[in-house]
């Protein structure tokens, strides 16, 4: 084993592997930082370039790029509250509030320090664990993976937002959305309402970017403020880059524990990348004596998930190389690269090809260290974006966001999905509904349905719930998590409605109530439609979701009705109460912003994105931002160059076939 490690290290440093590793790192930083791209897209773009390369340099390029995307994705998570990839969902809970406090540099300092640490520790743990971890993985079957998904959803429902009921109900709503389109088990289309675009299901990227990105940009536009709510000179002391590095040293044992969590959870095929940051975040909250600042800008809420999501990349290699089972889309592409190079994933990778396996481990570790160093250097300038006027940020980020959604299917439907989810996300944010459970449910939904169906077919309808020891242990963990949350041990209950900072913390019952009714109508329609399905297997998973979600939603409806009645009584009437709620949620200005987007969509139908997006930038800056035409025109020209050059020429995306320009 030790000889394999040394041979792998030599292989990693054999020229030209270091050159391709650095090139991959630079590409990975860019791809991770741009919302909508992510490691899987980067791997897909880079894979054709490796066909004529030797094996070691090819994997140096691929792993160098793939390993650092979960480091660079913290830029959009911290600065804009938009998860750059699935792995940075938990980071936004405390990273974005830190940016609002003017402490983005502190968040970056902590994030990049622990990213390097997590990547190195994850690689070392992987090397040590290779001989002994296989029996542990073999103990997990489809029932265990299903219950782990339930545990992950429960944890995110508990940790995000004020309301446990809302968190779990949102997760059920997200799972229901994953059943749109063809059912994998039967091939029968569900809930597509005659729209061909929905037959393949709702695409993930437009939902993520719309749900998180559009509401945050809308808030910046409406409030007319910068990301930071304080001026640079008024920012709290202790918010610099070095302070973030010191925070890592202060919470060093949390960092170590999170690295362990990231590595070993990352080894679970199909689950690691989705739940690892939430498990680490939950551990940080549960192990903290003072939990009051989580969700409002606690640096531990950045340290734990960022350590774990970088450590998991090494752990995810285990099922890929040892079993030929990819744990994510990214590792599936890596698996394809192994096969293309004539390698056989399985025991051979741990025996005959062990030096190559260890070279991959070394490259992941080295890539994380180099990327963290580069990003720490750039962070001195990146954090200054938090103090720029919001009107300068909104059109540029909106352009990147919309082109990021276009990557999903190259269809205008992607934009409509993003806008619809952005509107829903805005209502959820204003009404105190947490958004992260919905995204995690979308990530896990298809996997959960397949595992649920297989579990019932192989082990019986209910027997596997109580006959498999690991399943029972996970069920106990779920019950304990819910009980501790209910008693305020994991996350303390809010003492009053004064503090509305953080995800799902807003208190506005007259806005929450329409959201509750909207979700309730979707549940009711889904229940009615599932009764029309001819095959039981087609309706089985949606029914299971609704059986859990509908009683919870009824409890939320009762709570919202009571809170709305109290607000009406306190305001002296329905009209005045509604006026206060609308003003608090800033609905009129938000509708105007949506009008800008709709106008730009209409232009896209006529002249395409390359013209419509720059015109949107120009119109927004001159009419909403109040900037002069020279700056506005230069900004719009830059947007046009990016859409045409980066997305059109470099990425080769097909633009919309417009009516006038074709």
Q: Specify which residues 133 forms β-bridges with.
A: none
**344 pLDDT above the threshold of 80:** no
pLDDT at 662: 63
> Average pLDDT over the chain, rounded to whole?
82
Burial class of 266 by CB neighbour count within 10 A (0 to 12, 13 to 18, 19+): buried
**What is the pLDDT confidence band of residue 598, given thresholds at 50, 70 and 90?**
very high
CB of 271 closer than 8 Å to CB of 265: yes
Local confidence band at 605 (pLDDT 50, 70, 90 cut-offs)? very high
In sequence order, the 6+-apart residues with CB closer than 8 A to the CB of 432 are 161, 162, 163, 166, 504, 505, 506, 507, 508, 512
Instruction: Please tell me the predicted confidence (pLDDT) of residue 591.
Output: 93
Task: In whole angstroms, give the CA distance from residue 567 to residue 565.
Answer: 5
Is the pLDDT confidence value at 136 over 50?
yes
Interval 110-126 mean pLDDT:
80
> How far does CA 72 lie from the centroid of its chain?
13
pLDDT average, residue stretch 379-402: 85
Most confident of 146-160, 190-204, 364-378: 190-204
Using the predicted structure, report yes or no on whether residue 119 has a pLDDT greater than 60.
yes
pLDDT bucket at 498, cuts 50 / 70 / 90: very low
Beta bridge partners of 189: 182
Q: Is 190 helix (H, G, I), strand (E, B) or coil?
A: strand
Segment 255-260 mean pLDDT: 88
Range in 42-46, 233-237, 297-301, 375-379 the model is least confident about: 233-237
When mean pLDDT is compared over 175-179, 304-308, 477-481, the highest value belongs to 175-179
Q: What is the pLDDT of residue 632?
A: 94
Give, in order, the Cα–Cα distances in Å from 143 to each of 304, 373, 454, 460, 463.
Answer: 28, 42, 8, 11, 11
Supply 78's token pair.
């911290």
Q: Are strands 181-182 and 189-190 parallel, antiparallel or unpaired?
A: antiparallel
Give the tens place of pLDDT for each residue, 439-448: 878 877 888 8
Place of tokens 């409890």: 555
Q: How far apart are CA 213 and CA 553, in angstroms?
A: 26
Q: Is the pLDDT of residue 528 over 90?
A: yes
pLDDT of residue 135: 65
- The answer on pLDDT for 382 being more than 60 is yes
> What is the pLDDT, as a whole number, of residue 447?
80
Q: What is the pLDDT of residues 42-63, one digit of tens each?
A: 776 677 677 778 888 888 888 8
323 closest CA partner among 293, 301, 344: 344
Identify the pLDDT of residue 497. Answer: 47
| pLDDT tens-digit map of 463-485 | 888 888 888 988 898 888 888 77
pLDDT, tens only, 68-114: 777 777 888 888 887 766 667 788 888 888 888 888 888 888 888 88
- E strand intervals along 185-301: 189-190
Indicate the SS3 state at residue 181.
strand
CA–CA gap between residue 238 and residue 268 (Å, rounded): 38
Contact 227, 385 (CB under 8 A): yes
Least confident of 45-49, 306-310, 647-651: 45-49
Each residue's pLDDT tens digit, 140-154: 778 888 888 888 788
pLDDT at 501 over 60: no
Is 0.75 surpassed by the pTM of this model?
A: yes
200 has a pLDDT exceeding 80:
yes
Per mean pLDDT, which of 26-35, 416-425, 565-574 is the most reliable? 416-425
Work out the average pLDDT over 628-657.
89
Rounded Cα distance, 606 and 619, in Å: 17
pLDDT range class, residue 602, cuts 50, 70, 90: very high
Region 355-369: mean pLDDT is 80
Per DSSP, what are the bridge partners of residue 181? 190
**Strand, coil or helix: what is 182?**
strand
Per mean pLDDT, which range of 85-89, 219-223, 376-380, 387-391 is the poorest?
85-89
What pLDDT does residue 177 have?
93
Q: Which has the higher per-residue pLDDT, 332 or 367?
A: 367
Cα–Cα distances (Å) from 633 to 600, 620, 621, 656, in that order, read 17, 11, 9, 23
pLDDT band at 520 (very low <50, low <70, confident <90, very high): very high
Range with the poorest average pLDDT among 32-41, 158-167, 473-482, 545-554: 32-41
């Amino acid at each position: 084993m030790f000889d394999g490690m040394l041979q792998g290290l030599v292989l990693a440093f054999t020229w030209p592997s270091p050159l391709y590793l650095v090139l991959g790192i630079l590409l990975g930083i860019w791809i991770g930082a741009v919302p909508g791209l992510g490691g899987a897209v980067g791997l897909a773009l880079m894979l054709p370039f490796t066909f004529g390369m030797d094996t070691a340099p090819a994997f140096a390029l691929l792993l160098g790029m793939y390993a650092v995307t979960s480091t660079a994705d913290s830029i959009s998570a911290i600065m804009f509250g938009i998860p750059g990839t699935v792995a940075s969902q938990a980071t936004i809970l405390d990273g974005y509030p830190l940016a609002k406090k003017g402490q983005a540099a502190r968040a970056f300092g902590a994030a990049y320090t622990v990213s390097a640490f997590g990547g190195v520790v994850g690689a070392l743990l992987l090397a040590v664990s290779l001989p002994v971890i296989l029996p542990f993985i073999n103990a997990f079957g489809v029932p265990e993976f299903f219950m782990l998904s339930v545990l992950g959803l429960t944890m995110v429902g508990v940790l995000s937002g004020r309301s446990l009921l809302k968190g779990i109900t949102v997760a059920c709503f997200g799972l229901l959305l994953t059943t749109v389109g063809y059912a994998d088990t039967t091939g029968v289309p569900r809930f597509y309402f005659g729209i061909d675009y929905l037959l393949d299901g709702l695409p993930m990227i437009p939902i993520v970017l719309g749900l998180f990105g559009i509401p945050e940009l809308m808030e910046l536009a409406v409030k007319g403020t910068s990301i930071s709510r304080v001026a640079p000179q008024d920012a709290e002391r202790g918010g610099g880059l070095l302070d973030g590095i010191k925070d890592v040293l202060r919470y060093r044992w949390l960092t170590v524990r999170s690295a362990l969590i990231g590595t070993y959870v990352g080894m679970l095929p199909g689950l690691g990348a989705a739940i690892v940051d939430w498990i680490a975040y939950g551990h940080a909250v549960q192990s903290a004596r003072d939990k009051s600042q989580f969700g409002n800008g606690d640096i531990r809420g950045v340290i734990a998930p960022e350590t774990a999501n970088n450590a998991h990349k090494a752990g995810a290699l285990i099922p890929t190389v040892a079993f030929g089972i990819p744990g994510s889309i990214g590792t599936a592409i890596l698996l394809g690269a192994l096969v293309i190079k004539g390698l056989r994933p399985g025991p051979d990778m741990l025996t005959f090809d062990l030096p190559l396996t260890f070279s991959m481990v070394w490259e992941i570790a080295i890539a994380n260290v180099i990327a963290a160093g580069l990003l720490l250097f750039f962070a001195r300038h990146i954090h200054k974006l938090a103090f720029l006027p919001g009107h300068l940020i909104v059109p540029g980020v909106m352009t990147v966001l919309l082109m990021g959604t276009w990557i999903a299917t190259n269809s205008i439907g992607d934009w409509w999905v993003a806008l619809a989810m952005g509107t829903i996300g805005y209502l959820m944010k204003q009404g105190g509904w947490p958004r992260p459970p919905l995204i995690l449910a979308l990530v896990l939904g298809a996997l959960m349905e397949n595992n649920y169906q297989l579990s019932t077919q192989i082990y019986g309808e209910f027997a596997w719930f109580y006959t498999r020891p690991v399943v029972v242990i996970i069920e106990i963990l779920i019950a304990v998590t819910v009980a501790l949350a209910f008693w305020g041990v994991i996350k303390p209950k809010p003492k009053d409605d004064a503090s509305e900072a953080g995800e799902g913390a807003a208190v506005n019952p007259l806005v929450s109530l329409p959201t509750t009714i909207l979700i309730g109508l979707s549940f009711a329609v889904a229940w009615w439609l599932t009764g029309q399905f001819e095959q039981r297997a087609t309706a089985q998973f949606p029914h299971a979701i609704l059986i859990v979600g509908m009683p919870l939603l009824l409890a939320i409806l009762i709570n919202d009705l009571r809170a709305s009645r109290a607000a009406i009584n306190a305001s002296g009437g329905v009209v005045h109460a509604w006026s206060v709620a609308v003003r608090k949620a800033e609905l009129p200005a938000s509708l105007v912003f949506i009008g800008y987007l709709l106008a730009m969509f209409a232009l896209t139908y006529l002249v395409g994105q390359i013209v419509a997006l720059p015109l949107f930038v120009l119109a927004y800056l001159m009419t909403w931002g109040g900037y002069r035409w020279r700056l506005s025109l230069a900004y719009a020209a830059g947007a046009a160059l990016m859409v045409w050059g980066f997305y059109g020429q470099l990425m080769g995306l097909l633009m919309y076939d417009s009516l006038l320009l074709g």
